[in-house]
Structure 1
Amino acid sequence: MGEFSNKVVLVTGGTRGIGRAIAEAFLREGAKVAVTYARSDDKARELEKMGILAIKCDVANRDEVRRVAEIVGSRLGDVSVLVNNAGVMYLMPFESYNEELFDRMIGVNLKGIIYTTLEFLPQLKRTRGAIINIASNAGIGTAFEGTTYYAITKAAVIILTKRMAFELGKYGIRVNAVAPGWVETDMTTANRTPEEIEKTKALVRSRTMLNTTGVPEDIANVVLFLASERARYITGQTIVADGGRIDYLTHGI
C-alpha cells in the first residue's frame, strides 16, 4: 500500500486539471479520496469509476460545503488531508474592472478556502491533519497582462495560509500553500486556439530559468510532499513551483 494508505483526503475542484492530478496521485498512494466539483458531471463520473467520491458543490456557498463535510465524514471518515484547490480566473485589464467577476473570484478562490477549512476543522483536529492551499505565482507578482484582480485573490491566499498555520498549529495541524506558475489546464487554455496556446507557452518558457511550462503532475508532487510526514516540520510556507520565473514586477514587498 502507499504512503497515505487508508487516510482520507479531500480535494476541492478535483475533477479537472491540477485538482484531478492531485486526487489521482493520492489515490495511487492508497488514500480514500473525495473531490468537489462545480460543473464537470462527466469527469466526476470518470473519477467515481476509479473509486473517488465526487460531490457537486459550490465552495463559495458555506451551506453546500457543510453538506460535503457531512457526506465525507459519514462515508469515508475524518479527513486527514485537505487540499483547497478550487479556483476560478477571469482575465481583465485593471481599467476594465467587473465587480461581478471579481466577487466570484473572491468567493471561490478565497472564501472557498475559509468555508471549507472551517467546516472540516473538527475532522482535521481529530486527525491532526494537513492543509494545502493552492495559490499562484500571480499572487507574488508575476508580470502577466490581465491577471491583476486574480492576483489579488491569490495574494490573499498566501497570507491566509500563514495566518491559518499560526492559529491552527496548536491543534497539530500544518498549513502550507503551493504557488504554481503557468500549468497547461482547462483554466489556462480555455477559449484559446491551438496557435494562441502555443504562443502563450513560448512566452512563458522565455520567462523561466528552466525554459519550460508546467503540467498538473508537477503540482501534485509538491502537494504529496507537503501532506506527508516528510514535511512534518514545515508549516506556514508557500512553495513556488513555476520553473524559475524571472518576470516578477519588483524585488521588494
Structure 2
Amino acid sequence: MLMNRVVVVTGGTRGIGRSIAEKFHSLGDTVYVLFSTSEKEAKALNDRGILTIKCDVSSRSQLEEASSKIKEQEGKVDVLVNNAGLWYLMPFEEFNEEKYRKMLEVNLNGVIYSTLSFLPLMKNRGGSIINIASNAGIGTAANGTTFYSVTKAGVIMLTKRLAFELGKYNIRVNAVAPGWIETDMTIGGKSEEEIQKLREYFQQRTVLHTTGKPEDIANFVVFLAGEESRYMTGQVLVPDGGRIDNLTHSI
C-alpha cells in the first residue's frame, strides 16, 4: 500500500540514514534527504527519485531554508527523522574541546534546530518524529565514547521532553538507540582484517552473537512512523542484539 507521506531524513546519504530514506521511498513516500558533504551520494539518491537538499544541521538558518523549500513544494511534513550525527573516539583524559563541540552541535543541537524548523509543517496535521540516538546514550562499556555518549543521552532526554510538549499537536516523538551497526562511520577507512576484528569484538558482546545492519534500524523507524505505533510516544527502542556489556538497559 502506498503511503504518500512527506518524510524528511537528516544525514540520509549514507549508512543508517540512506537505508531509512530508501525504505520510506519504497513505500511510496516523498522523501527529502538533508546532507552536508556527500555530493556524490546525494546525486545517486536523486537519480532514484529521492530528493536531496544540502543543509548543515548545526546551522538553524540552513534548516529554516530547507524547511521553506519543502513548504513551498509540499506544504507539509508527516515524518521527521533526526538521523544526522558524528562521533570521535576520545578517552576522557584526552578531551578535545573542538571535537566535543562538533559532536554536540550536530548530534544534539541539530535535533533541536531541525525539530524547531520543521515543527510548523507538522503542527496542524500531526505526525511522527523519530530521533536516532545510540545505546551509548544509555550506558555501555565501549572505550573512548564518553563524550559521544553524553550527546546521545541528551537526544534520549530530548525525545521524552518533546513527546511531552508536542503531544497536544498529535505529534508522536520516539527514538531508536542502536547498538553497533556496520556503516561508513564505524568501518570506513579500515582494512578488511580490522573490520572483521570489530565484527568479532561486538558479536562476542551480544547475546545474539551478531552485529546490526542499517536496514535493521530502518525497519524500526518505519514502524515508529506508522499507524502500528499510534499509541506509542516518548519511548526509546534499543536494537543492539542484547549487549551484555551494557551498564543498564533501563532508561
Give the equivalent residue in structure 2 for 1:153. 151
Q: Which runs of 5+ in 1 are unaligned?
A: none
Q: Which runs of 5+ in 2 are unaligned?
A: none
Deviation (angstroms), 1:77:
2.9
Alignment identity in percent? Answer: 60
Give the equivalent residue in structure 2 for 1:101. 99
* Distance 1:252-1:134 versus aligned 2 partners, 3 A rule: closer
Deviation (angstroms), 1:252:
7.1
**Matches of 1:38 and 1:213 in 2, distance apart?**
28
Deviation (angstroms), 1:194:
1.5
Matches within 5 A, 1:100-249: 100-249=98-247
**Matches of 2:97 and 2:69 in 1, distance apart?**
33
**Matches of 2:203 and 2:191 in 1, distance apart?**
18
**Matches of 2:241 and 2:70 in 1, distance apart?**
35
Give the equivalent residue in structure 2 for 1:90. 88
Find runs of 4+ consecutive structure 1 residues off by over 2 angstroms: 249-253
Does the 8 Å CA contact 2:160/2:235 hold for their aligned counterparts? Answer: yes
**Matches of 2:248 and 2:222 in 1, distance apart?**
31
Give the equivalent residue in structure 2 for 1:60. 58
Q: Deviations over 1:170-191 (max 9, x none)?
A: 1100000000111000000123
Q: Which amino acid aligns with 1:62?
A: R
Relative to the length of structure 1, the TM-score reads 0.97
Aligned Cα RMSD in Å?
1.1
**Matches of 1:215 and 1:236 in 2, distance apart?**
24
Q: Which amino acid aligns with 2:240?
A: D
Does the 8 Å CA contact 2:138/2:248 hold for their aligned counterparts? Answer: no
Deviation (angstroms), 1:233:
0.2
Q: Which amino acid aligns with 2:211?
A: T
> Secondary structure, in 3 states, of the residue corresponding to 2:71?
helix
Does the 8 Å CA contact 1:132/1:176 hold for their aligned counterparts? Answer: yes
**Matches of 1:251 and 1:173 in 2, distance apart?**
26
Matches within 5 A, 1:29-68: 29-68=27-66
Q: Which amino acid aligns with 1:103?
A: R
**Matches of 2:240 and 2:26 in 1, distance apart?**
25
Give the equivalent residue in structure 2 for 1:23. 21
Deviation (angstroms), 1:251:
7.1
**Matches of 1:111 and 1:221 in 2, distance apart?**
25
Q: Deviations over 1:183-237 (max 9, x none)?
A: 0000001232211111011010001011100000000000000000110000000
> Secondary structure, in 3 states, of the residue corresponding to 1:83?
strand
